A and B are shown apart, each in its own frame.
Chain A
Amino acid sequence: MIAPAVRVSDLCCVISGRRILDSVSVEIGAGSRTSILGPNGAGKTTLLKCLMRIVRASGGKIEIMGEDLGNYSQRRLARRIGYVSQNIVGEIPFAVEEFVLLGRYPHLSPFSNVGKEDRAIAAKALESTETSHLSGRMFETLSGGERQMVLIAAVLAQGAEILLLDEPATFLDPRHASQVDRILEDLNRRRGLTVISVTHDVNNAILAGDGVVVLKSGSVLYSGEPSAMAGSGVLEEAFGKAFIYGRHPVTGDLITIPDAIRK
């Protein structure tokens, strides 16, 4: 049997006295596309940060590709996992190409510098996120949608097999949001990358994903098939809000929206 990409058991995370994650256990299959849903403050971002070891877990066990997280150096971890944070804090004072090349860091020895091969990999990463034309632009001048693609390109240059994305499309207009979705789907289907994204787009989670994890107040409320989640009352419990379910008039897929009338 193939080891799951991520296996988390009894994960706890306490940050300045506050228990953000409380005994979380999830398993995410290699090559799957999984969405993490949940209300604000449920611990979704912290879960991703624990996997990337940006935040240290206080208890429990994390395995990446069947190997204990503690066995990984940060460098080796970065060759397996790529993390795209929700928002960029502060200025990124680099040109797009330079920025993507920084993704090659875990492959460079302390004394070597980026070479031809690294440049080729960076160029290919930009190509697969449809951002080759931006390579000479300063990162600061990019639009929100362009930034998101470039951020994804950087973790592709990193050579990661598992992508962790924190709300990759939340602040994007519908066209750019679906572009991000299309690119992620392509990476998942054609390249076999494991894609794990935190999202508030419930329909995207149901339609595009192989799995859904729903968090509430630091605990797992649901983990499994997206189709089984719809209509089971999980969303209502997670968000404390009524949802309406129906069929897409053209495709017939199950879709849902938050109920604007019943609270």
Chain B
Amino acid sequence: MTDKKAWLVLFIAAISVAILVSAPFFGVERITPGMALRDGISGVKADIFWNIRVPRIIAAFVAGAALALSGMTFQAMFRNPLATPFTLGVSSGAAFGATLYIHLGAPFLVLGIPGQSLSAFAWAVAAILLVYGLTRARRGFSTATMLVSGVAVNFLFSSVILFMQYVSDFDNSFRMVRWLMGGFEIVGYEPVYSLAAFVVPGSLIVFMSLKELNLFTLGEDIAAGRGMNVDRVRALLFFATSLMVGGVVAVCGPIGFIGMMSPHICRLFTGANHRYLAPATVMFGGAFLVFCDTIARTLIAPAEIPVGVITALLGGPFFLWLLVAGFSEAGLAGKNRFAGRGRHGGGKG
């Protein structure tokens, strides 16, 4: 049965790689694999291929993987499939940080890392601490309080962002609006590097905490009983997710729903054990965002649809389905529909 799960992870990985490799051959400028293999790509086509499409696809993959991994982490920590960077207000905190940076208009680099990313990271931390604090302030820990806090923090940051847009000059205001829609209109590898600077350390921390995520899934009391230092691990994972979400949002804008859908769909295949779930989620999340971005840039080409619009169009209904289907149908157990595990009793939870 463990082998079966490993195969399912490999299967997801294989599909993801297929998407990743074929994506650069889609676009207005016709570049086919045959051309690439036969005579190599040269001239303008080479430039389009290597300096526009490839870095863009890498960026989309890294961003999707990071958002999915953050979503998976939040879902485990809060034991709730609706807990994601988006619903917990972390994305909008990061968005506020980035907008604030654009508004102040003073570009700075710290150790070669763009200030926009640092600002987004700092405000992502602020947002998660705020939501977590609000949720904890009430006695006990209720999902409802958490979601309402997330929504409230979302509104708070969104309205401040609107205000900043309003008081910005036309130029900055346009930059903010376009950036807030989310997208990967990048050229060259610079954005890929600044993404990686945040996503790589963040995801390393998460991948080193898979056993802890499994324990979080049991609830914090049992986790502590098993010998986990719950406060320390929680702080570390908040740090890691804020790094990833801040890094991604600063470069690509707040792209919603990847963080909710990817881990959830993967859980249906691999079950809740993060040893299998995490690699599956990374591959799926990355490939899924590459797929959405490919649609975004080809559907009404040469014009582009912001990729955030595509993910929201797919994610909105999914979110509603989760709400309606309820936790019993779509809870953290994932029901292992495809892993062929024992049947679940109905109605529980």
Binding site for B on A (CB under 8 A): 16, 49, 52-54, 73-79, 81-83, 85, 88-95, 98-99, 102-103, 105-106, 108, 110-111, 113, 136-138, 140-141, 154-155, 158
B292 at the interface (CB under 8 A from A): no
A95's partner among B217, B222, B342 (CB-CB below 8 A) is B342
Minimum CB–CB distance from A126 to chain B (whole Å) comes to 16
B341/A95 in contact, CB under 8 A: yes
* Beyond known contacts A75-B229, A83-B222: 7 more, CB 8 A cutoff: A49-B221, A75-B227, A85-B225, A94-B272, A95-B341, A140-B345, A155-B225
B333/A91 in contact, CB under 8 A: yes
Minimum CB–CB distance from B267 to chain A (whole Å) comes to 8
Contacts of B79 in A (CB 8 A): 90-91
Give the contacts of B276-322 with A (CB-CB under 8 A): none
Give the contacts of B325-349 with A (CB-CB under 8 A): 327, 331-334, 336, 341-345, 348-349
B234 at the interface (CB under 8 A from A): no
* In the complex, residue of chain A having the shortest beta-carbon distance to the beta carbon of B208: A110
Give the contacts of B13-49 with A (CB-CB under 8 A): none
Minimum CB–CB distance from B103 to chain A (whole Å) comes to 40
B263 at the interface (CB under 8 A from A): no
Which of A54, A76, A103, A137 has the largest number of chain B CB atoms within 10 A?
A: A54
Contacts of B341 in A (CB 8 A): 95, 138
Q: List 24 A-B contacts (CB under 8 A).
A: A75-B228, A79-B227, A82-B225, A85-B221, A85-B222, A88-B222, A91-B79, A91-B331, A93-B217, A93-B331, A94-B273, A95-B341, A95-B342, A99-B218, A102-B215, A105-B215, A136-B1, A138-B341, A140-B333, A140-B348, A141-B342, A154-B226, A155-B225, A158-B226
CA distance A86 to B128 in the complex (A): 30
Interface string of B222-242 (1 = CB under 8 A from A): 101111111000000000000
User: Given A90-B79, A136-B342, are A78 and B227 also a contact pair (CB < 8 Å)?
Assistant: yes
4 nearest CB pairs, A to B = A78-B227, A106-B227, A93-B333, A93-B272
A83/B342 in contact, CB under 8 A: no
User: Given A75-B227, A78-B226, are A16 and B139 also a contact pair (CB < 8 Å)?
Assistant: yes
Minimum CB–CB distance from A248 to chain B (whole Å) comes to 36
Interface string of B83-107 (1 = CB under 8 A from A): 0000000000000000000000000
Contacts of B334 in A (CB 8 A): 93
CA distance A88 to B344 in the complex (A): 17
Contacts of A98 in B (CB 8 A): 273
CA distance A54 to B219 in the complex (A): 12
Contacts of A136 in B (CB 8 A): 1, 342
B55 at the interface (CB under 8 A from A): no
Contacts of A89 in B (CB 8 A): 219, 221
B331/A74 in contact, CB under 8 A: no
User: Given A78-B225, A140-B333, A140-B344, are A105 and B219 also a contact pair (CB < 8 Å)?
Assistant: no
Contacts of A77 in B (CB 8 A): 227
A90/B226 in contact, CB under 8 A: no
User: Given A93-B333, A140-B348, are A106 and B272 also a contact pair (CB < 8 Å)?
Assistant: no
Interface string of B132-147 (1 = CB under 8 A from A): 0000000100000000
A141/B345 in contact, CB under 8 A: yes
